[in-house]
Amino acid sequence: MSFAFPPTALPAKAEQLRAEVRAFLAEWGAGWTLLDRAHSWTRFDRDFSRAVGARGWIGMTWPTRYGGQARSSLERYVVLEEMLAAGAPVGAHWFGDRQSGPLLLRSGTEKQRVALLPRIVTGELAFCIGLSEPDSGSDLASLRTRATREGSGWRLDGTKVWTTNAHRSDYMIALVRTSPTGEGAPRQAGLTQFLIDLTLPGISIKPIADLTGEAHFNEVHFDGTIVDETMMIGREGEGWAQANAELAYERSGPDRYLSSFPVLQPALDRLGEDAERHDDDLGRLVARYATLRGMSVSTAGMLERGLEPLQEAALIKDLGVDLEQETPAMLADMLDIGPALPGDGGLEDALAFLTQTAPSFSLRGGTREIMRGMTARGLGLR
C-alpha cells in the first residue's frame, strides 16, 4: 500500500559531470539577474539552449544514432538539477528533452526520430505540449480538438490553451480526438497524438498575459490545419496511454521542487547576521529539500531501470510543489522586506515574481487535487 523510494546513488561519473555543468553555468550566468533566475524552466533562450546542446547535455540518454550520448538517467538528473538550482534559461529545450524526445523514442516512427531527435539534441528545435483546452483542464479526456481524415492527411480544428512558450516553439505535440466518443466506449478511446509544425497554415497563436504582466503561455487555434499522416505519433486511438506514459517524466523531475530554489541563498545572504535567528526554519526547509531530492533521484533510478513510476511521480509532485510554493512566502517573511520593488531585477523583484507565480506550481502538470486523486487510486480508495 505504501510507495517506496529506495535510496539511490548518483554514480561517480555523474558527480564529475556536476563540476563541468557548474563551470558552464558560472560562465553563462554572469549576466543573469535574480529575477531572470526566478523564471526557472519557463525562461526561453535559444542561444543558451544551443550552447547546452553543444556540450551534449540535451537528449543525453538517447541512442547515439539519433545524436544522443546513451548516458544514464542519473547523469541526466545531475545536469537538470544543476540547471534548475542555478535558475538557468532552459525553456527552449526543456520540453523536447523531458517529454517530446522520449515520446518519439518510445512511440514515434523511425522517420520522425531521424528528422527531429538530432535537432532537439543540438538545441535547435523547441517543443510545446498541447494537452489542455478551454473546456478541458483536469478532465483532459473531455478534450474536443478534432482531427478528421482529409486526403493523405488530417485536418485539425480546435483550441489548445495554457501552452507554455507555444509562441516561441517550432513544434507542438498535441493530443486530439480522432474518433467521436461512442455510446458506452470509454472517453479515453479515440484520442491520438500528432506532431504539429507550428508554421503550418491555419494556426494562430495568441499569448495570454498572466498576473505578473508577462505572457509565457498561449492560446493556440487550429482552423482547418492540414497535417500529413506521417505526423501521427504511435497508433491512432492510443494517444491517451502514450500521453500518460510521458507524465512520469513530467512530474518526478527536479523541476517540481526547485522552482523557488534560486532565491534561497541570496535571501540568506541578505539576512546576514540576522540569518541566525532563522536557523530552525532553514533547517526544516533543508530537511524537506534534501528528502525530496533523494526521492526524486530515486525516481530517476526507477526510470533508468525501465519502470514507469507514475504513482511515485504524482506523489513527489504533490510534496514538491508545496515546498516550492511555501519558500517565497517564508523568505519574504524572514526578510521583512516590505512591498516596495526597486525594479533592479534583484531579490525583491525575484520574490515578488515568485509570490505571483507560486499559485501555478500546483496547477501546471496536473493539479494538486488530481495528483492526490492518483495517490488515492493507488491506495485502493477508488
Partner 1 sequence: MSDLLEMMLDQTDRLFGDHVDRQLLVEVEQGGWPSGLWAQVEAFGLPDALIVPAQDGGLSFAEAGALFASLGRHVVPLPVGETMLARMMLARAGVEAPVGPIALAAGGDQAFAAQGVGHVLVQRDGRWALEVQSGAALGSIARVPYAVAQGGKAIATHPIPDGLPDLLTLGAMLRASQMAGAVARVLEMAVDYANTRQQFGRPIGRFQAVQQLLARLAAEAAAGQAASDMAWSALDAGTLDHAGAIAKIRAGEAARIAATIGHQVHGAIGVTDEHMLHYVTRRLWTWRLEYGSERAWATRLGEAARREGDLWSFLTTRCGAAALEQLA
Query: How distant, in Å, are the alpha carbons of 66, 129, 146, 202, 275 from that of 35?
Result: 36, 25, 40, 36, 22
| Closer residue to partner 1, CB minimum distance, 5 or 44 | 5
> Does 247 engage in binding with partner 1 (CB under 8 A)?
no
Q: Tell the smallest beta-carbon distance from residue 83 to partner 1 (Å).
A: 12
Question: To which H or E segment does residue 25 belong?
Answer: helix 12-28
> Does 4 engage in binding with partner 1 (CB under 8 A)?
yes
Secondary structure letter of residue 282 according to DSSP:
H
| Closer residue to partner 1, CB minimum distance, 312 or 349 | 312
> Does 195 engage in binding with partner 1 (CB under 8 A)?
no
Q: Where are the alpha helices (DSSP H) in 136-216?
A: none
Q: Residue 133 and residue 143: Cα distance in Å, rounded?
A: 6
The stretch among 232-240, 246-254, 294-302, 326-334 that binds partner 1 (CB under 8 A) is: 294-302
Number of residues that make up the chain = 382
> Does 307 engage in binding with partner 1 (CB under 8 A)?
no
Query: How distant, in Å, are the alpha carbons of 132, 161, 175, 226, 317 from that of 178?
Result: 16, 19, 9, 14, 31
CA atoms within 13 A on the CB side of 311: 12
Neighbouring C-beta atoms of residue 376, cutoff 10 Å = 11
The stretch among 79-87, 163-171, 239-247, 344-352 that binds partner 1 (CB under 8 A) is: 79-87
Q: Cβ distance 164 to 41 under 8 Å? A: no
> Does 209 engage in binding with partner 1 (CB under 8 A)?
no
Mark residues 80-99: x for contact with partner 1 by CB under 8 A, - for none.
Answer: -x---xx-------------
Neighbouring C-beta atoms of residue 107, cutoff 10 Å = 20
> Does 26 engage in binding with partner 1 (CB under 8 A)?
no
One of 165, 169, 298, 362 touching partner 1 (CB under 8 A): 298
| Closer residue to partner 1, CB minimum distance, 116 or 295 | 295
One of 286, 333, 344, 359 touching partner 1 (CB under 8 A): 286
Q: Residue 298 and residue 312: Cα distance in Å, rounded?
A: 10
Contact set with partner 1 (CB under 8 A): 1-11, 15, 18, 81, 85-86, 261, 264-265, 268, 275-276, 278-295, 297-298, 301, 305, 312, 315, 318-319, 369, 371-376, 378-382
